[in-house]
Amino acid sequence: MKNLFAIVFALGFYQTVDAQSAYMKHLADDQFLIERLDVLNGRLSDSLYTSLQSMSRKEVVQFLQQYLQKHRTISPREKEEIMRIISKNGEWAANGEGAEDSRYPILNRLYQKKSDMINVHVDQADLVINPIFNYQQMVETNNTRQNLFLNSKGIELRANLNKRIGVYSTFTDNQERGPWHHQQRVRERSAVL
């Protein structure tokens, strides 16, 4: 009886598992180019579904590499944009090394690849780390004494092991000085932000 249970248990885990993959950023500039190339391709892709709006990085890179092989007469600008997208997602390229080398790495350690601050590809493991900086400043018409701002800084981390287990995370510190009505409400209620 124990052997039968072990066999059934093992067969249950033998099936292939489809899991969530790392996706492209929604409504990024890259998405519009990919959708345009999908239309220009002339036939629907079997793996890339641009209408779903969440495109897997792996499927995008495969589609773009196939597109480059199939369409030899594309403009230099289009080829540059395609290579930029492949470089930003280089760990999913056919050989695992799709990221373009930088001509000017910093201290021979940072930005060895054009699109990544830290890019490590060892055997079956990939690690990509990039900084996140965003600063916005604005002025309210009724409140000209203070500048309103939104400041975000942090890192983006992408990693995968054997192309099966993956991690995508962003760690940010956000600071904000909100509009006048927001500041008034915080003062009235002694709120802590």
Measured CA to CA, the distance from residue 60 to residue 49 in angstroms comes to 9
pLDDT, residue 1, reads 62
Residue carrying structure tokens 């909100």: 178
Which structure tokens are listed for 33?
């180019």
What is the C-alpha to C-alpha distance for residues 39 and 50, in angstroms, rounded to an integer? 10
In the chain, which stretches have pLDDT less than 50?
Answer: 11, 13-20
Per-residue pLDDT reduced to its tens digit, 94-120: 666 666 667 776 777 777 777 777 777
Q: What is the pLDDT of residue 85?
A: 82
pLDDT of residue 17: 43
Cα 181-186-192 angle, rounded to 5 deg: 145
> Which secondary-structure segment (H or E) carries 13?
helix 2-14
- Hey, CA dihedral for 170, 176, 179, 180, is it positive or negative? positive
Closest CA to 99 of 123, 75, 126: 126
Determine phi and psi for 189, rounding to 5 degrees. Answer: -105, 5
pLDDT of residue 96: 63
- Let me know: does 115 contact 109? Beta carbons within 8 Å: no
- What is the domain partition of the chain in residue ranges? 20-100, 108-193
pLDDT of residue 126: 80
Q: What is the pLDDT of residue 10?
A: 52
Q: What is residue 16's predicted lDDT score, i.e. its pLDDT?
A: 42
For 78, the token pair is 């289009």
Q: Checking phi first, is residue 116 left (phi over 0); if not, alpha (psi -120 to 50) or beta?
A: beta
C-alpha of 54 from chain center = 11
